[in-house]
Amino acid sequence: MVASSNSITTGSMTPVTSISANDTLNEAKKAAESTPGGQKSVLNAQILQASLQVSIQSGNDGLALLYRSAVEHLNAVLQPELGSNAIGRAMGQDNSAEATAGRILSMSTGFFDAYAARYPDKDPETVARDFVALIRGGFEKGYAEAKDILTGLNVLGEGSDIAAGIAKTYELVQKGFDDFLTTKIAAIRGETDQSSTSQA
């Protein structure tokens, strides 16, 4: 029996069986995608593909990648509490640092009431702190992933507009999370004070 690259043949060179390379590759791809590591690889490939489909010449495109990566990770951390795709994707809009940070903040903090409703018996301040820790962690994972991809594309060199844009977005989002938590805790304490006064 002689093996060829396309089929297995007998001595008379007649095909015994033929396996399509595309079918084999598709089956292997499906098997890989069904594992957690494979799903992460697919997500990384999709983010990389999206980053390559846009022109990386302007700083706004790096912020679009940061936004997409942050949203993916925020969706992942919010999924156990609020279901899949809690934050929808929104591409093709103003991708300045301020606008990107504003969208990340408004969409992630907008889920606070739904999150808090799941813990009616828990201390409200603890709920607020836990929520901000949850969304901050999701954002930081997305930011780190986007930064790794952009570093791999060699667009974060010294003096890079993209590097400056994503760093500014990071600072604005972190400040926004801090401000949100401060405001929530002040409101909770104000409600507690009013409740104590009305009962006296």
pLDDT above 70: residue 123: yes
> Domain segments of the chain: what residues?
36-178
Rounded distance, CA 161 to CA 59, Å? 5
pLDDT above 90: residue 176: yes
Other Cβ atoms within 10 Å of 105 Cβ, number = 19
pLDDT of residue 136: 94
Q: What confidence tens digit (pLDDT) does each residue in 81-106 have?
A: 766 666 653 334 567 889 889 989 99
pLDDT above 70: residue 139: yes
The radius of gyration of the chain's CA atoms, rounded to the nearest angstrom, is 24
Mean pLDDT of the chain: 73
pLDDT of residue 12: 42
pLDDT, greater one: 171 or 29: 171
Copy the structure tokens of residue 117. Answer: 């409703």
pLDDT of residue 18: 42
* Confidence tier at 46 by pLDDT (50, 70, 90): low
